[in-house]
Amino acid sequence: MVPSPCALLFWTLHTAVHVCLADRSLKYVTLLYRHGDRSPVRTFPADPHQESAWPQGFGQLTQEGMKQHYELGQALRQRYQGFLSEDYSRYEISVRSTDYDRTLMSALANLAGIYPPNGSQVFDPSLRWQPIPVHTVPQDEERLLSFPLECPRYKVLMDETKQTDVFLNMTNTYKEFLEMVRNRTGLEKSTVESVWSVHDTLFCESRHNMTIPDWADADVMEKLRLLKNFGFNMMFGVYKREEKCRLQGGVLLNQILINISQHAAPESKERLKIMVYSAHDTTLVALQTALDVFNGLQPPYASCHMFELHLEDDGSFSVAMFYRNDSTKDPYPLTLPGCSQYCPLQDFMHLTKPVIPEDWKKECQVENSITDKAVILGLVLCACLLTICILILFMLLWRHHGPSSGYQHVINEADENS
């Protein structure tokens, strides 16, 4: 039987797809995800639901959050089936988290979904789980995953951002609304920057079937959401985006690219296949703003940004990015501006160079203003004058109490030991 033209076309396309897939092989993956559903990190004075209303207190992962990350782990297992071994191997995956309960617990729940124990790794037949390490550093030492990083120059940029037309216009437009929020919540002040916490608190409470105030209707929640997203955009982008990124998200991007480059090196003997970072919404925003792919919306719980290093059939390497922000859909591709979906590694490095810091500590420094220099010079002069006065006083006292014309008694060794 001779196949129809449609059948031939389908077979040709089907074969072509498999050939294309066969010509590109996955070599290394970096994942950055936000923690799962949590309780609010704080509340406002007039809120009837204070910290005692939450079983584990503020800022803690909920059971819903655990389920979200377990499901993400299962989705990652399916996506990288054949790339990852069926059994957990410490040589294949490394996980780092910020030192917060919610991010550490999210990573553990995620790993439970990726690596259910099999065969010899089962230590209790009634338990579909095995311990897998998650690494962290103390919060005050975190310089990679917690943003915004403390940086004097960044603070100057944020002060300048608050004087831009777009920021002032937004503040003026929502002036009465912000005042209403302040009055209703009992907060001392309500600003474009701080209002996100009000939305966060009400959002968490509504997700967990708690009664929210009558004034927080759909219109109010939408305005709070809009202002919250505006704050995210202002924090890392819009005004002097590249410089902000060099001081913030570019730090993490730099480390990710260093890891990717090491795996693409001709002499590479790297065995690690997946590097995982468990962090926060601000971490994702900082990174995606540095990549210029941020969609302007707060990343949802358990959202995941994926970097994939692929070896092409000609021996070159490419980097592809995907973003999973909806558990009901496959991750959608992200394309670095100026490049293709599977961006050649060298092009990826070149296009992101403007947001990669060369010397972060030096770039974070702020030059002293004229006023600061004058103050310092004044302090130095005062110190010099004080020193001179002390020397003069010492000399006068020395002359007044000079050595006497008599003789001094010398204590000999015998006198000392008596």
* Catalytic positions: 35, 281
The Cα–Cα gap between 316 and 321 comes to 17
The Cα–Cα gap between 244 and 299 comes to 19
Handedness of CA 350, 352, 355, 357 (dihedral sign): negative
Identify the DSSP state of 271: -
Residue 248, exposed/middle/buried by CB under 10 A (0-12, 13-18, 19+)? Answer: buried
97 Cβ contact partners less than 8 Å away, ≥ 6 residues apart: 103, 104, 106, 107, 134, 135, 136, 145, 277, 278, 279
The two three-digit tokens of residue 228, written as one number: 């919250």
Amino acid occupying residue 289? T
Per DSSP (E only), the strands in 204-300 are: 274-279
State the Cα torsion 194-41-249-153 to the nearest 10°: 50
